Amino acid sequence: MASGDKKFSAQDVNKLVQKRLDRQKAKFADYDQLRDEHAAMKAELAKLKKAAASSSDDTEGRGKKKRAGDADGSEGRRGALRAKIRAAKKAGLPASMATRLKGSDDESLLRDAEKLKKSLGPGPKVGTGTNPPKGAKRPLTRADIKKMSPDEIIKNLDQIKAQLKDGSLNQA
């Protein structure tokens, strides 16, 4: 051993070991308290689960009563939705818009559906804006003119002159 090395007696080693053990015990000093709290939380969770299970049993019973009521003719949620869909279809609205309707009876639902349809306005007319007006001639190309007979060229001379003037025939 070198002359600068420390030498420990058995008593010194025991003190070091005891300090280490004390630190370790301090880490787990509240273990008993945490274990008791955990047991209490488990018991409370079991109570809540039992209460929730009995509550869901009650709501299932109410749901069965409501479904039985629907069979008797009274309208529940599904019956109200069906009435809204009928009103939407009568007004010419898609069924997806039915949930937006408000009213307590068929007449008020139909009035609301008509009001909604009116506020949406007429839809765009499909195809009418893109169709050329009747009698309009399609633009001619150089290839079209090369295929024409002299009589066809004379017949379409006004259109050819107009296209030469606006430059659309030169581009083609």
* 151 contacts 122 by C-beta, under 8 angstroms: no
- What is d(CA 44, CA 48) in angstroms, rounded to the nearest whole number? 6
- The mean predicted confidence, pLDDT, of the chain is 81
3-22 per-position pLDDT tens digit: 567 788 889 899 999 999 99
Closest CA to 93 of 114, 111, 107: 114
Render 126-140 in DSSP notation, one character per residue.
TTTTTSPPTTPPPPP
What does the pLDDT look like over 48-84, one tens digit per residue? 998 888 877 666 555 555 554 445 444 478 888 888 8
- Going by pLDDT thresholds of 50, 70 and 90, the confidence category of residue 126 is low
For the cut 70, the answer to whether the pLDDT of residue 145 exceeds it is: yes
Q: What is residue 142's three-state secondary structure?
A: helix
- Which of these, 157, 153, 134, 155, lies nearest to 145 by C-alpha position? 153
Question: What average pLDDT does range 132-149 have in this prediction?
Answer: 79
Query: Whose structure tokens read 């002159």?
Result: 161
Greater pLDDT, 145 or 69: 145
